[in-house]
Amino acid sequence: MSIVSVHKQGDHSSSQSENLLEIKNLKTYYPVKGGFLKRTIGNVKAVDNISFELKKGETLGLVGESGCGKSTAGRTILRLLKPTEGQILFDGKDITRVSGKSLREIRKNMQMVFQDPYASLNPMQMIGDIIAEPIYNFSKKSKADLKQEVMGLLEKVGLPPDAYYKYAHEFSGGQRQRIGIARALALKPKLIIADEPVSALDVSVQSQVLNLLKDLQEEFDLTFLFIAHDLSVVKHMSDRIGVMYLGNMVEVSNKDSLYANPLHPYTQALISAIPTPDPRVKKERIILKGDVPSPINPPTGCTFHPRCPMAMEECSRSKPVLKEVKPSHRVACHLY
Ligand code: SF4
Protein backbone atom coordinates (compact mmCIF):
# COMPACT_ATOMS: atom_id res chain seq x y z
CA MET A 1 0.00 0.00 0.00
CA SER A 2 1.37 3.38 -0.88
CA ILE A 3 2.12 6.10 1.62
CA VAL A 4 -0.61 8.66 1.98
CA SER A 5 0.51 12.25 2.17
CA VAL A 6 -1.51 14.41 4.50
CA HIS A 7 -1.42 18.08 3.56
CA LYS A 8 -3.02 21.30 4.59
CA GLN A 9 -5.81 22.10 2.18
CA GLY A 10 -4.49 23.68 -0.96
CA ASP A 11 -0.92 22.83 -0.09
CA HIS A 12 0.34 19.91 -2.10
CA SER A 13 4.03 20.40 -1.45
CA SER A 14 5.44 18.00 1.08
CA SER A 15 8.80 17.86 2.74
CA GLN A 16 10.05 15.14 5.03
CA SER A 17 10.92 17.65 7.77
CA GLU A 18 7.34 18.94 7.91
CA ASN A 19 5.98 15.52 8.81
CA LEU A 20 5.44 15.00 12.49
CA LEU A 21 4.22 11.45 12.00
CA GLU A 22 4.88 8.86 9.31
CA ILE A 23 3.14 5.51 9.43
CA LYS A 24 4.46 2.88 7.07
CA ASN A 25 2.67 -0.43 6.43
CA LEU A 26 1.51 -0.67 10.01
CA LYS A 27 -0.12 -3.90 11.14
CA THR A 28 -1.53 -4.75 14.56
CA TYR A 29 -2.72 -8.33 14.92
CA TYR A 30 -4.09 -9.95 18.05
CA PRO A 31 -3.32 -13.68 18.24
CA VAL A 32 -6.30 -16.02 18.61
CA LYS A 33 -5.47 -19.01 20.85
CA GLY A 34 -7.24 -22.33 20.67
CA GLY A 35 -7.04 -26.05 21.26
CA PHE A 36 -5.75 -27.98 24.24
CA LEU A 37 -2.25 -26.43 24.06
CA LYS A 38 -3.61 -22.90 23.54
CA ARG A 39 -1.62 -22.52 20.34
CA THR A 40 -2.08 -19.49 18.06
CA ILE A 41 -4.65 -20.64 15.53
CA GLY A 42 -5.25 -17.32 13.80
CA ASN A 43 -5.06 -13.55 14.11
CA VAL A 44 -7.52 -10.72 14.54
CA LYS A 45 -6.22 -8.33 11.89
CA ALA A 46 -7.29 -5.15 13.68
CA VAL A 47 -4.96 -2.92 11.64
CA ASP A 48 -3.85 -4.50 8.39
CA ASN A 49 -1.23 -2.53 6.53
CA ILE A 50 -2.00 1.18 6.75
CA SER A 51 0.32 3.99 5.72
CA PHE A 52 -0.08 7.73 6.07
CA GLU A 53 1.77 10.90 6.96
CA LEU A 54 0.66 13.72 9.19
CA LYS A 55 2.15 17.19 8.84
CA LYS A 56 2.96 19.43 11.78
CA GLY A 57 -0.02 21.49 12.93
CA GLU A 58 -2.72 19.67 11.02
CA THR A 59 -5.61 17.38 11.86
CA LEU A 60 -6.24 14.03 10.25
CA GLY A 61 -9.64 12.53 11.02
CA LEU A 62 -9.90 8.74 11.08
CA VAL A 63 -13.42 7.45 10.54
CA GLY A 64 -15.19 4.12 10.19
CA GLU A 65 -17.71 1.90 11.95
CA SER A 66 -16.79 0.44 15.31
CA GLY A 67 -14.38 -2.45 14.88
CA CYS A 68 -12.74 -0.95 11.76
CA GLY A 69 -9.40 -0.61 13.55
CA LYS A 70 -9.23 3.17 14.00
CA SER A 71 -8.81 3.08 17.80
CA THR A 72 -6.30 0.22 17.57
CA ALA A 73 -4.34 2.29 15.04
CA GLY A 74 -4.30 5.26 17.45
CA ARG A 75 -3.18 3.13 20.39
CA THR A 76 -0.49 1.43 18.34
CA ILE A 77 0.90 4.79 17.20
CA LEU A 78 1.07 5.87 20.86
CA ARG A 79 2.81 2.53 21.54
CA LEU A 80 0.14 1.51 24.05
CA LEU A 81 -0.17 -1.58 21.82
CA LYS A 82 2.67 -3.49 20.22
CA PRO A 83 2.82 -3.18 16.44
CA THR A 84 2.99 -6.52 14.62
CA GLU A 85 4.75 -5.10 11.57
CA GLY A 86 5.55 -1.79 9.95
CA GLN A 87 7.14 1.44 11.09
CA ILE A 88 6.12 4.44 13.18
CA LEU A 89 8.28 7.52 12.68
CA PHE A 90 7.66 10.38 15.07
CA ASP A 91 9.45 13.68 14.56
CA GLY A 92 12.00 11.90 12.37
CA LYS A 93 12.74 9.10 14.88
CA ASP A 94 11.79 5.47 14.45
CA ILE A 95 9.80 4.69 17.59
CA THR A 96 8.41 1.32 16.46
CA ARG A 97 10.49 -0.76 18.84
CA VAL A 98 11.73 1.73 21.47
CA SER A 99 11.10 0.84 25.10
CA GLY A 100 11.96 1.91 28.66
CA LYS A 101 13.37 5.41 29.11
CA SER A 102 13.30 6.27 25.40
CA LEU A 103 9.61 5.36 25.16
CA ARG A 104 8.89 7.45 28.26
CA GLU A 105 10.59 10.45 26.67
CA ILE A 106 8.56 10.02 23.47
CA ARG A 107 5.30 9.71 25.41
CA LYS A 108 5.91 13.24 26.69
CA ASN A 109 5.30 14.46 23.16
CA MET A 110 2.36 12.19 22.30
CA GLN A 111 -0.71 12.28 24.47
CA MET A 112 -4.18 10.81 24.29
CA VAL A 113 -7.62 12.22 25.01
CA PHE A 114 -9.97 9.33 25.78
CA GLN A 115 -13.64 8.80 25.01
CA ASP A 116 -14.62 8.31 28.63
CA PRO A 117 -12.71 10.80 30.78
CA TYR A 118 -14.39 9.50 33.94
CA ALA A 119 -12.86 6.04 33.51
CA SER A 120 -9.42 7.57 33.07
CA LEU A 121 -9.57 9.94 36.09
CA ASN A 122 -8.72 8.51 39.49
CA PRO A 123 -11.87 9.14 41.63
CA MET A 124 -9.76 9.28 44.83
CA GLN A 125 -7.39 11.99 43.58
CA MET A 126 -7.95 15.75 43.58
CA ILE A 127 -8.12 17.16 40.02
CA GLY A 128 -5.13 19.42 40.74
CA ASP A 129 -3.02 16.38 41.64
CA ILE A 130 -4.18 14.41 38.61
CA ILE A 131 -3.04 17.18 36.25
CA ALA A 132 0.15 17.89 38.24
CA GLU A 133 1.32 14.26 38.35
CA PRO A 134 2.80 13.97 34.83
CA ILE A 135 4.47 17.41 35.16
CA TYR A 136 6.06 16.38 38.47
CA ASN A 137 7.21 13.02 37.08
CA PHE A 138 9.11 14.69 34.29
CA SER A 139 10.29 17.96 35.85
CA LYS A 140 10.30 17.58 39.65
CA LYS A 141 9.06 21.17 39.97
CA SER A 142 8.36 22.71 43.37
CA LYS A 143 4.84 22.46 44.81
CA ALA A 144 4.22 26.18 44.25
CA ASP A 145 5.37 26.06 40.60
CA LEU A 146 3.29 22.95 39.96
CA LYS A 147 0.19 24.57 41.38
CA GLN A 148 0.68 27.70 39.30
CA GLU A 149 1.10 25.61 36.15
CA VAL A 150 -2.00 23.51 36.87
CA MET A 151 -4.04 26.66 37.56
CA GLY A 152 -2.92 27.99 34.19
CA LEU A 153 -4.01 24.77 32.47
CA LEU A 154 -7.42 24.84 34.19
CA GLU A 155 -7.93 28.36 32.91
CA LYS A 156 -6.90 27.36 29.37
CA VAL A 157 -9.55 24.62 29.27
CA GLY A 158 -12.25 26.89 30.72
CA LEU A 159 -12.48 25.54 34.27
CA PRO A 160 -12.60 27.72 37.42
CA PRO A 161 -9.62 27.74 39.83
CA ASP A 162 -11.57 25.84 42.53
CA ALA A 163 -11.71 22.81 40.18
CA TYR A 164 -8.17 22.16 41.49
CA TYR A 165 -9.54 21.01 44.86
CA LYS A 166 -12.45 18.92 43.57
CA TYR A 167 -12.87 15.28 42.56
CA ALA A 168 -13.96 13.77 39.25
CA HIS A 169 -17.50 12.92 40.41
CA GLU A 170 -18.21 16.60 41.11
CA PHE A 171 -18.05 17.49 37.41
CA SER A 172 -20.33 17.07 34.40
CA GLY A 173 -19.26 14.96 31.41
CA GLY A 174 -18.15 18.02 29.44
CA GLN A 175 -16.14 19.38 32.38
CA ARG A 176 -14.49 15.98 32.89
CA GLN A 177 -13.44 15.98 29.26
CA ARG A 178 -11.93 19.44 29.83
CA ILE A 179 -9.94 17.93 32.72
CA GLY A 180 -8.80 15.10 30.42
CA ILE A 181 -7.67 17.69 27.88
CA ALA A 182 -5.79 19.71 30.56
CA ARG A 183 -4.00 16.53 31.63
CA ALA A 184 -3.10 15.71 28.02
CA LEU A 185 -1.69 19.24 27.60
CA ALA A 186 0.29 19.18 30.84
CA LEU A 187 3.53 17.99 29.21
CA LYS A 188 3.18 20.32 26.20
CA PRO A 189 2.94 17.50 23.67
CA LYS A 190 3.35 17.88 19.91
CA LEU A 191 0.76 15.26 18.96
CA ILE A 192 -2.63 14.56 20.51
CA ILE A 193 -4.54 11.45 19.58
CA ALA A 194 -8.18 12.09 20.45
CA ASP A 195 -10.19 8.87 20.45
CA GLU A 196 -13.91 9.63 20.17
CA PRO A 197 -13.44 12.62 22.53
CA VAL A 198 -17.04 13.86 22.33
CA SER A 199 -19.10 10.75 21.56
CA ALA A 200 -19.98 10.21 25.25
CA LEU A 201 -21.12 13.84 25.68
CA ASP A 202 -24.50 15.51 25.23
CA VAL A 203 -24.89 17.07 21.78
CA SER A 204 -25.24 20.49 23.45
CA VAL A 205 -21.71 20.34 24.90
CA GLN A 206 -20.03 18.51 22.02
CA SER A 207 -19.43 21.66 19.98
CA GLN A 208 -18.01 23.51 23.01
CA VAL A 209 -15.41 20.79 23.54
CA LEU A 210 -14.61 20.60 19.81
CA ASN A 211 -14.15 24.37 19.64
CA LEU A 212 -11.92 24.24 22.72
CA LEU A 213 -9.73 21.62 21.01
CA LYS A 214 -9.49 23.83 17.90
CA ASP A 215 -8.50 26.89 19.95
CA LEU A 216 -5.89 24.92 21.88
CA GLN A 217 -4.49 23.50 18.63
CA GLU A 218 -3.89 27.05 17.42
CA GLU A 219 -2.43 28.25 20.70
CA PHE A 220 -0.16 25.27 21.42
CA ASP A 221 0.69 24.44 17.80
CA LEU A 222 -0.71 20.94 18.19
CA THR A 223 -1.08 18.20 15.62
CA PHE A 224 -4.18 16.02 15.96
CA LEU A 225 -5.11 12.52 14.99
CA PHE A 226 -8.84 12.73 15.52
CA ILE A 227 -10.65 9.39 15.72
CA ALA A 228 -14.46 9.31 15.52
CA HIS A 229 -17.35 7.46 13.95
CA ASP A 230 -19.46 10.62 13.52
CA LEU A 231 -18.70 12.14 10.13
CA SER A 232 -20.13 15.56 10.95
CA VAL A 233 -17.82 15.82 13.98
CA VAL A 234 -14.83 14.74 11.91
CA LYS A 235 -15.71 17.26 9.19
CA HIS A 236 -15.76 20.07 11.73
CA MET A 237 -12.32 19.15 13.07
CA SER A 238 -10.20 17.83 10.22
CA ASP A 239 -8.05 19.15 7.38
CA ARG A 240 -7.96 15.69 5.83
CA ILE A 241 -9.85 12.50 6.46
CA GLY A 242 -8.92 8.82 6.28
CA VAL A 243 -11.73 6.25 6.03
CA MET A 244 -10.99 2.83 7.49
CA TYR A 245 -12.78 -0.45 6.84
CA LEU A 246 -11.79 -3.75 8.42
CA GLY A 247 -8.27 -2.66 9.30
CA ASN A 248 -7.55 -1.06 5.90
CA MET A 249 -7.47 2.56 4.78
CA VAL A 250 -9.95 2.69 1.88
CA GLU A 251 -10.00 6.41 1.10
CA VAL A 252 -7.98 9.47 2.11
CA SER A 253 -8.66 12.98 0.96
CA ASN A 254 -8.88 16.60 1.99
CA LYS A 255 -12.24 17.08 3.61
CA ASP A 256 -13.94 19.20 0.94
CA SER A 257 -13.24 16.69 -1.81
CA LEU A 258 -14.28 13.76 0.40
CA TYR A 259 -17.63 15.22 1.43
CA ALA A 260 -18.47 16.72 -1.98
CA ASN A 261 -17.41 13.69 -3.99
CA PRO A 262 -16.81 10.52 -1.98
CA LEU A 263 -15.33 7.87 -4.27
CA HIS A 264 -15.31 4.62 -2.29
CA PRO A 265 -18.73 2.93 -2.05
CA TYR A 266 -18.20 2.54 1.71
CA THR A 267 -17.52 6.28 2.15
CA GLN A 268 -20.55 7.04 -0.04
CA ALA A 269 -22.72 4.95 2.31
CA LEU A 270 -21.29 6.64 5.43
CA ILE A 271 -21.86 10.12 4.00
CA SER A 272 -25.38 9.26 2.81
CA ALA A 273 -26.26 8.50 6.45
CA ILE A 274 -25.41 12.02 7.70
CA PRO A 275 -28.72 13.76 8.49
CA THR A 276 -29.32 17.04 6.66
CA PRO A 277 -30.21 20.04 8.86
CA ASP A 278 -32.96 21.05 6.40
CA PRO A 279 -35.82 18.46 6.43
CA ARG A 280 -37.01 19.69 2.98
CA VAL A 281 -33.75 18.46 1.39
CA LYS A 282 -34.31 14.86 0.34
CA LYS A 283 -31.24 12.66 0.41
CA GLU A 284 -31.04 9.07 -0.74
CA ARG A 285 -29.59 6.90 1.98
CA ILE A 286 -27.42 3.96 0.93
CA ILE A 287 -28.17 1.01 3.21
CA LEU A 288 -25.36 -1.51 3.41
CA LYS A 289 -26.32 -5.16 3.61
CA GLY A 290 -25.00 -7.34 6.43
CA ASP A 291 -22.56 -6.54 9.21
CA VAL A 292 -18.84 -5.87 9.21
CA PRO A 293 -17.23 -9.32 8.68
CA SER A 294 -14.90 -10.81 11.28
CA PRO A 295 -11.33 -9.47 11.14
CA ILE A 296 -10.15 -13.01 12.06
CA ASN A 297 -11.17 -14.27 8.65
CA PRO A 298 -11.66 -11.22 6.42
CA PRO A 299 -13.18 -11.68 2.94
CA THR A 300 -10.77 -12.26 0.04
CA GLY A 301 -9.92 -9.50 -2.43
CA CYS A 302 -11.59 -6.23 -1.48
CA THR A 303 -12.73 -6.89 2.08
CA PHE A 304 -15.80 -4.71 1.43
CA HIS A 305 -17.06 -6.83 -1.49
CA PRO A 306 -19.75 -8.86 0.40
CA ARG A 307 -21.50 -5.58 1.31
CA CYS A 308 -20.64 -3.42 -1.68
CA PRO A 309 -23.54 -2.38 -3.94
CA MET A 310 -21.04 -1.91 -6.82
CA ALA A 311 -19.11 -5.19 -6.43
CA MET A 312 -17.79 -6.80 -9.63
CA GLU A 313 -16.32 -10.22 -10.26
CA GLU A 314 -12.71 -9.18 -9.77
CA CYS A 315 -13.49 -7.59 -6.39
CA SER A 316 -13.51 -10.95 -4.59
CA ARG A 317 -10.27 -11.99 -6.29
CA SER A 318 -7.85 -9.08 -6.02
CA LYS A 319 -7.29 -6.53 -3.32
CA PRO A 320 -7.36 -2.92 -4.56
CA VAL A 321 -4.44 -0.70 -3.54
CA LEU A 322 -4.80 2.85 -2.31
CA LYS A 323 -3.97 5.12 -5.23
CA GLU A 324 -4.29 8.80 -6.07
CA VAL A 325 -7.13 9.35 -8.54
CA LYS A 326 -7.45 13.11 -8.07
CA PRO A 327 -5.04 15.61 -6.52
CA SER A 328 -4.86 14.83 -2.77
CA HIS A 329 -7.62 12.22 -3.08
CA ARG A 330 -6.74 8.53 -2.81
CA VAL A 331 -9.00 5.52 -2.94
CA ALA A 332 -8.64 1.74 -2.82
CA CYS A 333 -11.32 0.47 -5.24
CA HIS A 334 -11.33 -1.33 -8.61
CA LEU A 335 -13.86 1.14 -9.99
CA TYR A 336 -11.07 3.72 -10.41
FE1 SF4 B 1 -16.83 -2.33 -4.16
FE2 SF4 B 1 -15.18 -3.64 -5.74
FE3 SF4 B 1 -14.64 -1.14 -5.10
FE4 SF4 B 1 -14.43 -3.07 -3.28
S5 SF4 B 1 -13.21 -2.85 -5.12
S6 SF4 B 1 -15.36 -1.11 -3.01
S7 SF4 B 1 -16.12 -4.39 -3.85
S8 SF4 B 1 -16.38 -1.88 -6.28
Q: What is the pLDDT, as a whole number, of residue 36?
A: 80
Beta partners for residue 90, in sequence order: 21, 93
158-206 pLDDT tens trace: 999 999 999 999 999 999 999 999 999 999 999 999 999 999 899 889 9
CB 227 within 8 A of CB 62: yes
Contacts of 165 by beta carbon, 8 Å cutoff, 6+ apart: 126, 127, 128
User: Is the Cβ atom of 335 under 6 angstroms away from ligand 1?
Assistant: yes
In angstroms, rounded to a whole number, what is the distance separating the alpha carbons of residues 155 and 148?
A: 11
Phi, psi of 195 (to 5 degrees): -100, 100
State if residue 262 touches ligand 1 by the CB under 6 angstroms criterion. Answer: no
- Nearest-CA neighbor of 306 among 319, 289, 294? 289
Please give the Cα distance from 175 to 179 (Å, whole number). 6
What's the CA gap between 307 and 68, in Å, rounded? Answer: 14
Looking at ligand 1, which residue's alpha carbon is closest to its atom 8? Answer: 311
- Which CATH fold would you assign to the domain 12-109+187-331? Rossmann fold (3.40.50)
Distance from C-alpha of 138 to C-alpha of 134, rounded to nearest angstrom: 6
Which ligand 1 atom sits closest to the C-alpha of 310?
Answer: 8
Q: If you average pLDDT over every residue of the chain, what do you get?
A: 90
Regarding the beta carbon of 83 and ligand 1, being less than 6 Å apart is answered no
Evaluate: CB of 320 within 6 angstroms of ligand 1: yes
Q: What are the domain boundaries of the chain?
A: 12-109+187-331
Question: What is the per-residue pLDDT across 265-317, written as a single tens digit (0 to 9) for each?
Answer: 999 999 998 887 777 777 788 888 888 888 888 999 999 999 999 999 999 99
pLDDT in tens, 204-245: 899 999 999 999 999 999 999 999 998 989 999 999 999 999
Is 245 a pocket residue for ligand 1 (Cβ < 6 Å)? Answer: no
CA atoms within 13 A of residue 16's CA, in its CB half-sphere: 3
Q: Please tell me whether the overall predicted TM-score, pTM, comes out greater than 0.95 for this model.
A: no
What distance in angstroms lies between residue 307's CA and the mean position of ligand 1's atoms?
9
In the chain, the amino acid numbered 272 is: S
Q: How far apart are CA 216 and CA 224, in angstroms?
A: 11
As a whole-number percent, the residues of the chain with pLDDT over 70 amount to 95
322 Cβ closer than 6 Å to some ligand 1 atom: no
